[in-house]
Structure 1
Amino acid sequence: MNRPQYILQPVNPYFIAFSLAAAFLLNLMPWGRLIGVPDFVALVLLFWNVHQPRKVGMGIAFFLGLLMDVHNASLLGEHALAYTLLSYGAITIHRRVLWMSLGVQTFAVMPLLVIAQLVPFVIRLLTGAAFPGWGYLIDGFVEAALWPVASVLLLMPQRRPADPDDTRPI
C-alpha cells in the first residue's frame, strides 16, 4: 500500500486501436505453431479489458477473434469464443486486479490467459483434429509472464504529463 500512485491521463482511443492492430500484426508473423509464442492479441485485449472495460468490450474481442480465426484458417468462432470468454473474465475482475501490484496481477490474469488457450485446444480436439501436445498450453503461461512488460509499455503514454513543468512535483 505504500507504493506511489500515478495520476494517469485519459487514454487516447487511437492508441487503443493502434495497440490492438499492432498485436494483431504480431500474431500475423510467420512463427508457425512454435511452442511458447504468445498470443499478443489476447494479451493486449486482456490489458485493455482490465484498464478500460468501457472502451474495449466483448464485441471487440469477438471481432478480433473472428479475424484470428480467418487468419489461422481454423474453425470459425473458436478464437472468437476464447477472446469473448477472456474479455468477460477480465471485465469481471478488473476492479480487483487494478489494486494489486504487477507481480500479483500476473498470477490473477494467468488463469484467464490459460483458459483462452484451452478453449481452442478443446474445440480442436472435439472436432477431430490431431492432438497438438501439451506444449500448446504453455503459451498462456508465457503471456502471463509478459503481463508486467505489456502493462508498463501500454501505460507509458498515460503517465506522461500533459504539460511538463520542472517546478511541479506531479
Structure 2
Amino acid sequence: MIMPRAAEKLLLPANPWFIGFSLLLALLVDMVPLGRLAWMPDLLAVVLAFWGVHQPRRVGVLWAFAFGLLIDVHDGAVLGQHALAYSALSFGAISLHRRMAWFSLAGQAVQILPLFVAAHVLTLLVRMAVGGMWPGWDVLLAPFLEAALWPVASALLLAPQRRAPDRDAHRPL
C-alpha cells in the first residue's frame, strides 16, 4: 500500500494536557474584548476542527458543544448558537479525519473550508431566525481566513509531536 505523504513522518502521541491547553488558550483569545467584527476568524473553531481531525477520540462533539456554550454565554448570543455551529464543525472534522492525511496542508485547508463556511452559515441562520441584525457581507471573509490559518495551526499544534522521544547517540531514529 502506498502511504500518504503526510504520513511519512511518525508523530509522537499527543499529550492530553497540551490539547487542553491549546483549546483553553484559543478560548481565551476568542474572549479578548477587541470588539467582535464579522470578518474576524474564530480561533476556537480552527483549534476544535484541528483536534477533531488529528485526535478524534480525545476532542469530540461534546467538547465542541461545551466550548460553544461558553462562547455563547460570554458573547451574550442566543444560547446554543455557537454550540450548534461548533458541534456541526466538529462532527464534520471527525468525519473527514481519515481522508485529511492524504492531502498536503493547502489541500487540507481546501477540504476544511466548507466546514468553516457551514459553521458560519449555521451561526448566521440562528442569529437571523431570532431577529438579529445582518452583520454585513464581511462575514463571508471569516471562513476563508480560518482556512488560511489551517497550515499555521498545523505547524504550531503538531510541533510538540514532531520532537524526538528521547535523544540517544546510539539510536538514530
TM-score by length of 1: 0.94
Residue 99 to residue 18, structure 1, CA distance change in 2 (3 Å) = same
Partner of 1:53: 56
Counterpart Cα distance in 1 of 2:162 and 2:119: 29
Residue 3 to residue 90, structure 1, CA distance change in 2 (3 Å) = closer
> Does residue 138 of structure 1 match 2:138?
no
Matching residue's letter, 1:98: A
Partner of 1:113: 116
> Does residue 25 of structure 1 match 2:28?
yes
Deviations 1:3-39 (A, max 9, x none): 7711111111000000000000000112212243211
Partner of 1:79: 82
Aligned length: 170
Counterpart Cα distance in 2 of 1:105 and 1:31: 29
Alignment of 1:85-164 (within 5 A): 85-164=88-167
Counterpart Cα distance in 2 of 1:43 and 1:81: 15
Q: Can you give the 5+ residue segments of structure 2 that lack an aligned partner in the other structure?
A: none
Conserved 8 A contact 1:118-1:137 = no
Runs of 4+ in 1 over 6 A off after TM superposition: none
Partner of 2:40: 37
Counterpart Cα distance in 2 of 1:121 and 1:63: 19
Counterpart Cα distance in 2 of 1:35 and 1:60: 24
Conserved 8 A contact 1:50-1:98 = no
Counterpart Cα distance in 2 of 1:54 and 1:106: 21
CA RMSD of aligned residues (A): 1.5
Counterpart Cα distance in 1 of 2:43 and 2:5: 32
TM-score by length of 2: 0.93
Residue 3 to residue 29, structure 1, CA distance change in 2 (3 Å) = closer
Residue 169 to residue 31, structure 1, CA distance change in 2 (3 Å) = same
